Amino acid sequence: MRDTIVLDHIGAREAAARLVAGRLEDVLVDTDTPRPGTIYRAIADRPVKGQGGMFLRTPDGPAFLRQVRGLAPGQALLVQVTGHAEPGKALPVTQKLLFKSRYAIVTPDAPGLNISRSIRDEARRDALLEIAHEAMIDNTMGLILRSSCSDAESEEIADDIRAMVDLALAVMADSDGDAEVLVEGDSPHRVAWREWSAPADVETAAGGFEALGVMDQLEQLLAPHVPLSGGASMYIEPTRALIAVDVNTGGDATPAAGNKANLACARELPRQLRLRGLGGQITLDLAPMAKKDRRPFETALRTAFRSDVTETALVGWTPLGHYELQRKRDRAPLPEDLG
């Protein structure tokens, strides 16, 4: 069954949703904060001793750059927003710029031509290398051809590469001057086109979220309670310090109840974090289970996160028996006001 992609608005906010058999699998909602992917010409402001970083001045407020070497206050530099900032904190940025589109990622600071490992057909890989060499001729920047190239038209791929190369060259040549926004990050509709490349039916009519049940599913995400299979449940509650996840067995009083609830949590957790836009430190307070069942739980959790695009580190067990994760904040939390 084909996916369904819905491009709509929630109030004045641009939004996109991906449904699989009617079930919401991903959602993107615009915010008032700078979008990931935004590129600034920023000005170095002040170093942070002991953290190896520096605060920068941008048109959208302060940014923080880690692992700074040889950077002096007042110096101009090019940086890219890597994720959403927590309230009251500086924007996270990097100097390793990526120019990303549907088929190609141009990497000015990382030379070389690379093809997604998910494309395994050798004849196709050879054909893509030929396209890449022709499009990148006399160019020292790096290129990554994405998995979406597997069945795309050659001319579309070549056009995509050339567009990203032209954008990268223009930005890299504009490094001098005061703080300025050089490239706006992609909007939800643009990100949906760029990232959701599997065959899908696309709905663009106004009111699509209501007509296809997206709004009803979004409303459910505003509550901490998440039903799981077998009558179990989990509660996902963000705090200022971390995301707390509490797993309960429900009415099941059998010896295996805790293990079943925890495995159900492992399977559903990536989807819930993705839809809710949650990242940072995550602590799982799991249902009681024997220590011998920890390894199957870890395997299930690792398998579930393997297909999730957001970088998530499975840190491990605490002395109190909690399980901890660290997840990149690459999107903003789902707005509480969906009107």
CATH code of residue 83: 2.40.50.140
Angle at 160 between CA 156 and CA 163, to 5 degrees: 140
Type of residue numbered 165 = V
How far apart are the C-alpha atoms of 160 and 158, rounded to whole Å?
5
The burial class, CB within 10 Å (0-12 / 13-18 / 19+), for 81 is buried
Residues 281 and 313 in one domain: yes
CB 155 within 8 A of CB 134: no
Phi, psi angles (nearest 5°) of residue 202: -110, 125
Residues 269 and 322 in one domain: yes
Per-residue HEC secondary structure of 210-255 comes to HHCCHHHHHHHHCCCEEECHHHCEEEEEECCCCEEEEEECCCCCCC
How far apart are the C-alpha atoms of 248 and 228, rounded to whole Å?
9
Residues 237 and 316 in one domain: yes
Question: Tell me, what CATH number does 237's domain have?
Answer: 3.40.630
Count of domains observed in the chain: 3
pLDDT tens sequence for the chain (339 residues):
789 999 999 999 999 999 999 999 999 999 999 999 999 999 999 998 777 799 999 999 999 999 777 888 999 999 999 999 888 889 999 999 999 999 999 999 999 999 999 999 999 999 999 999 999 988 889 999 999 999 999 999 999 999 999 999 999 999 999 999 999 999 999 999 999 999 999 999 999 999 999 999 999 999 999 999 989 999 999 998 999 999 999 888 888 999 999 999 999 999 999 999 999 999 999 999 999 999 999 999 999 999 999 999 999 999 999 999 999 999 889 988 776
Residues 90 and 156 in one domain: no
Residue with tokens 């492992």: 266
In a domain, 336, yes or no: no
Q: How far, rounded to the nearest angstrom, does the alpha carbon of residue 182 sit from its chain's CA centroid? A: 22
Expressed as residue numbers, the domain containing 268 is: 222-327
pTM of the predicted protein model = 0.92
Residues 247 and 151 in one domain: no
How far apart are the C-alpha atoms of 145 and 129, rounded to whole Å?
9
Q: Which of 48, 79, 95 corresponds to the end of one domain?
A: 95
Phi, psi angles (nearest 5°) of residue 19: -110, 140
Residues 264 and 303 in one domain: yes
Residues 90 and 146 in one domain: no
Q: Which of 175, 190, 208 corresponds to the end of one domain?
A: 175
